[in-house]
Structure 1
Amino acid sequence: MINIGRSPLSVSQLARIVFENEEIVIDEDVLNEVDVNHQFLQKFSQNKLIYGINTGFGPMAQYKVSQDSLMQLQYNLIRSHSSGSGKLIEPALCRALMVARLGSLIQARSGVHPEIIELIALLINKNILPCIFEHGGVGASGDLVQLAHLGLMLIGEGEVHYQNAIRPAAEVFAENNIKPLSIHVREGLAILNGTSAMTGIGCLNIAKSQTLISWGIMLSALTNEVVEAYNDHFSTELNVVKHHTGQLKVAALMQHALEGSQMIRDRSEHLYNPDNIGHDVFEDKVQEYYSLRCVTQILGPVYDTIAHAEKILTEELNSVNDNPVVDHVNHNVFHGGNFHGDYVSLEMDKLKIAITRVSMLAERQLNYLLNNKLNQKFPPFVNMGVLGLNFGMQGIQFTAVSTVAENQTLSFPMYVHSIPNNNDNQDIVSMGTNGALLTKKVIDNSFEVLAIQLMTIVQAVDYLECQTSLSPLSAKVYHEVRAIFPAFKEDQPRYKEQRLVREYMEAHAPLKAFEA
């Protein structure tokens, strides 16, 4: 169980709630503080004009709403903004969104009744998730449209994902004896005003990116290993003189991955040995291609980008991203823009650019293994069948290249796509949810590319018959992959095996790149 409120939520905790179905428990002190905040707002709002409590919303805020319509105002907001379109967001992302909204509401600065906290936690634990669409949020006055669909479920309307089916929320609530949310003061606005869609999706993106870069480092190590590269380019001595945390971390992880390898060569034994340099022309390259030699310099910035994104998203996950902020400690209500998604939007753009770079590196390493004119070690396309009759990994290379090309196009930033809307009330917006969803696509694409690279590497290992010369960690990866992707010479469709390898990679990180 994960106790919400006792300490700040982490990205890894959110991922465990989403992917491992860890149960949420709400700290009793949190509920008490939320209730104090709610009671304060009820008293403070008497005989005052406060946005979203007795006014319209957005550019309609100059219109006062009559006292007898205040509750209806909140329902109207939820229903009117439940206007998403396009594809439904995957249920896992909806679950992450709910955890993120809970992370904001438990800060006790939104004026909500504790009932909403308990209801969201109950629905997460029962895996009853709102149907939310990809299109709708501009990420400025919060993820209004996506979060409206969360609100629609909370009041017992709309549709939900439940037990692998899409069903009416009212029906599922009745089946589980769940009472829909009652509006007390401003629960409608408190649900909608916030960055929880982009934040929840963004946190999952970070968790998956941490697994992906673990594989990027592992496959870079394996590629160096099967081509018998030299060891100095990932040595501590070379990398420590360039003062970047990520570069040093990637070098250390490569050293760990290759510890015990009998294939990686020591430059001092070969090119620094006078007995081995009595030639004018050397068959072996004195230095490897950049995709092999510059791994620490290429994946180091990616590592640092993921680490910084985790820091920012963790801060957002545990922040009050609502408006106005109900401050019972200072006895006031403050109007502003904490719902604005620029922090998350910018991090998602940086993250997807970095992850695209991972896929680009993997594609270049893949090309090196497949092109016999470059590696001078393997047959074309690591073809272990009859050259000309069989094709080896030729067909699947096209998939890797086209997927990387899509990543490159998707990597144009959403952060600079601000389009004024809402009668120009929202005159500069973040587009953060769009950015988070595109980043997810780039990450998913990259797993596909790296899966193809891994399939090629194990074929190369079998061609060389070097299984016993691999490092222990490389050998472990080799045997686990071969359990789902047997060696082949004859041509067969590979798409099902590619999916199995990708799913294996998504579920396992070969290197512990980040602390949980």
Structure 2
Amino acid sequence: MQTISMKYTMIVGKYINLEILRRVLFNDEEIIISDKCIQEVDKSFHFLREFSSDKIIYGINTGFGPMAQYRIEDKSLRELQYNIIRSHSTGAGQPLPSLYVKAAMIARLFTFLQGKSGIHTELVELLVQFINLDIFPYIPEHGSVGASGDLVQLAHMALALIGEGEVFYEGKLQPTAQVLEKNHLKPFSIHIREGLSVTNGTSVMTGIGIVNLLYARQLLNWSVCASVMMNEIAASYDDFISQPLNDAKLHKGQQKIAEAMRKQMADSKCTLKREIELYGQKHEEKIFEHKVQPYYSLRCTPQILGPVYDTLANVEEVLINEINSACDNPIVDPETQNVYHGGNFHGDYISFEMDKLKIAITKLTMLSERQLNYLFHDRINGILPPFVNLGVLGLNYGLQASQFTATSTTAECQTLSNPMYVHSIPNNNDNQDIVSMGTNSALMAKTVIENSYQVMSILFMGIVQAVDYLKIQEKLSTESRCVYNEIRAFFPVFTQDTPKYKEIEAMGKYLKNKKFNL
């Protein structure tokens, strides 16, 4: 019997939130634009057509950038719009993965839905078709300085929308014209300023940033889960996550992390109560065999992950504000009957947040690497064999070599955490004399996040091996035991040495796809 795949469809207005973005990006849900939004786009178009008929307006009857001082003759106005698309399709490097391209198209769509771009509704409708049909323009990673937004990468998006260049469709890179014909679609037409409107703005860096944020939130969830399981393995005293202790410090993130850890650890039989073990009985020993306080990588997780939580919250606010903004230039405003020239294409907000995001995730990765070191270092933990090796010591090596991968990957994250936000280089005949480098920042954050999943994957491989060695499966909290069982379903306990690169990859996919929220 053939299974028919059903896609869910939702009607969207001019604003979108992170949950809807997640559903469109990861659940493959389709979108329909509300009639009211289409009317606002159409209103902006008709106002601009009338307003621009006898006025000098940048990018309509002038050249672009430092060429804006040159007036364009009426007979060449359509050619001008095609020229910016074709001339700026100069990207280089690897193609941006389809998920990030889809996010960038959604970001571009919502700029248009603000009704301040003066574009024809035909462009909006075609962009929606590209998103819903998973037609992904070929967009190279390199080319943007982040002001005037993502000119080069957006030009590649526009190139596909005019039926030229190439797109990824059904897993293959194909000529755009063939894919449009197959789907009975026509390229959009130039009416007034559609070429400039597609190419000018922050949509690529914003789209990358949205995917980064969603993956980073998942990483934070996993770091909380790993930290709980690490403390279960170490049989830590549980007062480090107590509410009175964490409420004594007035940071929301720290309190939220401690609360999440308390929730997961609530029914654990592995952790100890200080009031029972140390306060409730007399001790005569001079040296305590069990640590009175565990290492910082176990005990200080609320204080370490709290700032990460707070940073992600601010990143979300900035990204959602940006995606729901008009980020091109000029701004066409039917309400005030004017066209405003400025710099809404400048990507500093995204650049700064992506720098902060990659710093936060690098610190999270460092925490994972230190927790991994605790597991692997028998003289530190005092309860596990070296490298949680369940085979014959000396003959077998367990996860010893995987630590090299985790350590080197963490080091790369640390280097990539240097900020892009302050690395402006003037260009474009010094017209763009200070720029954001926002797309570079977003791409570097993307790499840091990918690296972090690799380190986290190795950490969880070590965690489940440690659980098996200690035979504490039944003592774990309900949530920890669920995670243990899910991982063991595709990563069985091992004693003999085998290549682990495929297991690291499989673990990374599991960590990305599991559904849960902090």
TM-score w.r.t. the length of structure 2 is 0.97
- Give the whole-Å Cα distance in 1 for the aligned partners of 2:96 and 2:224: 30
- Residue 495 (structure 1) aligns with: 501
Whether 2:360 is the aligned partner of 1:354: answer: yes
AA matched with 2:417: S
- Give the whole-Å Cα distance in 2 for the aligned partners of 1:96 and 1:395: 37
- Residue 328 (structure 2) aligns with: 322
Equivalent residues of 1:55, 1:61 under 8 A apart: yes
- Residue 82 (structure 2) aligns with: 75
- Summarize deviations over 1:68-106 as a string: whole Å, max 9, x none: 100110000000000000111101111110000001001
After TM superposition, give the deviation of residue 504 of structure 1 in Å: 0.4
- Summarize deviations over 1:168-214 as a string: whole Å, max 9, x none: 00111111111101000000110011100000110111111111100
After TM superposition, give the deviation of residue 5 of structure 1 in Å: 4.4
- Counterpart of 2:174 (choices 156, 167, 172) is 167
- Give the whole-Å Cα distance in 2 for the aligned partners of 1:332 and 1:286: 69
- Counterpart of 2:341 (choices 335, 338, 342) is 335
AA matched with 1:83: T
- Residue 374 (structure 1) aligns with: 380
Equivalent residues of 1:199, 1:313 under 8 A apart: yes
Equivalent residues of 2:14, 2:113 under 8 A apart: no
- Residue 429 (structure 2) aligns with: 423
After TM superposition, give the deviation of residue 220 of structure 1 in Å: 0.5
- Residue 288 (structure 2) aligns with: 282
Whether 2:351 is the aligned partner of 1:365: answer: no
Partner SS for 2:490:
coil
Unmatched 5+ stretches in structure 2: 1-7
- Counterpart of 1:12 (choices 15, 19, 25) is 19
- Counterpart of 2:404 (choices 380, 392, 398) is 398
Written as runs of structure 1 = structure 2, the 5 A alignment for 1:148-297 is 148-275=155-282, 277-297=283-303
After TM superposition, give the deviation of residue 2 of structure 1 in Å: 5.6
AA matched with 1:108: G
- Counterpart of 1:57 (choices 57, 64, 76) is 64
Partner SS for 2:174:
strand
- Give the whole-Å Cα distance in 2 for the aligned partners of 1:42 and 1:302: 47
Whether 2:109 is the aligned partner of 1:102: answer: yes
- Residue 32 (structure 1) aligns with: 39
- Give the whole-Å Cα distance in 2 for the aligned partners of 1:122 and 1:88: 21
TM-score w.r.t. the length of structure 1 is 0.98
Partner SS for 1:483:
helix
- Summarize deviations over 1:36-91 as a string: whole Å, max 9, x none: 11000000001110000000000000100001100110000000000000111101
Equivalent residues of 2:14, 2:37 under 8 A apart: no
AA matched with 1:423: N
- Residue 4 (structure 2) aligns with: none
- Give the whole-Å Cα distance in 2 for the aligned partners of 1:260 and 1:8: 41
Whether 2:511 is the aligned partner of 1:505: answer: yes
- Give the whole-Å Cα distance in 2 for the aligned partners of 1:243 and 1:317: 31
After TM superposition, give the deviation of residue 274 of structure 1 in Å: 3.5
After TM superposition, give the deviation of residue 279 of structure 1 in Å: 1.4
- Give the whole-Å Cα distance in 2 for the aligned partners of 1:377 and 1:427: 59
- Give the whole-Å Cα distance in 1 for the aligned partners of 2:214 and 2:136: 21
Partner SS for 2:141:
strand
- Give the whole-Å Cα distance in 2 for the aligned partners of 1:2 and 1:28: 15
- Give the whole-Å Cα distance in 2 for the aligned partners of 1:91 and 1:440: 14
| Aligned CA-pair RMSD | 0.9
AA matched with 1:411: S
- Give the whole-Å Cα distance in 1 for the aligned partners of 2:228 and 2:188: 53
- Residue 443 (structure 1) aligns with: 449
Aligned length: 511
Whether 2:481 is the aligned partner of 1:482: answer: no
- Summarize deviations over 1:432-486 as a string: whole Å, max 9, x none: 1111111111111101101100010000000011111000000000000000100
- Give the whole-Å Cα distance in 1 for the aligned partners of 2:351 and 2:18: 17
After TM superposition, give the deviation of residue 509 of structure 1 in Å: 4.2
- Give the whole-Å Cα distance in 1 for the aligned partners of 2:160 and 2:195: 12
Equivalent residues of 1:384, 1:463 under 8 A apart: yes
AA matched with 2:109: L
- Give the whole-Å Cα distance in 1 for the aligned partners of 2:324 and 2:72: 32
- Give the whole-Å Cα distance in 2 for the aligned partners of 1:19 and 1:5: 17
- Give the whole-Å Cα distance in 2 for the aligned partners of 1:377 and 1:410: 35
AA matched with 2:189: S
After TM superposition, give the deviation of residue 142 of structure 1 in Å: 1.3
Partner SS for 2:54:
coil
- Give the whole-Å Cα distance in 1 for the aligned partners of 2:195 and 2:9: 27
- Give the whole-Å Cα distance in 2 for the aligned partners of 1:316 and 1:460: 44
- Give the whole-Å Cα distance in 2 for the aligned partners of 1:15 and 1:274: 52
After the TM superposition, which of the residue ranges 264-273 and 129-138 deviates more from structure 2? 264-273
Equivalent residues of 1:3, 1:27 under 8 A apart: no
Equivalent residues of 2:14, 2:114 under 8 A apart: no
- Give the whole-Å Cα distance in 1 for the aligned partners of 2:411 and 2:495: 29
- Counterpart of 2:462 (choices 450, 456, 459) is 456
Partner SS for 2:69:
coil
AA matched with 1:367: N
- Residue 135 (structure 1) aligns with: 142
Whether 2:472 is the aligned partner of 1:466: answer: yes
- Give the whole-Å Cα distance in 1 for the aligned partners of 2:136 and 2:281: 69
Written as runs of structure 1 = structure 2, the 5 A alignment for 1:117-132 is 117-132=124-139
- Give the whole-Å Cα distance in 2 for the aligned partners of 1:250 and 1:400: 24
Equivalent residues of 2:14, 2:324 under 8 A apart: no
- Summarize deviations over 1:4-29 as a string: whole Å, max 9, x none: 54262112222221222110101111
- Summarize deviations over 1:142-175 as a string: whole Å, max 9, x none: 1000000000000000000000000000111111
Partner SS for 1:166:
strand
Equivalent residues of 1:5, 1:106 under 8 A apart: no
- Residue 433 (structure 1) aligns with: 439
AA matched with 1:217: V
- Summarize deviations over 1:209-247 as a string: whole Å, max 9, x none: 111100000000100011100101111111001011110
Report sequence identity in percent.
54
Give the ranges of 4+ consecutive aligned residues of structure 1 lying more than 3 Å apart after TM superposition. Answer: 1-5
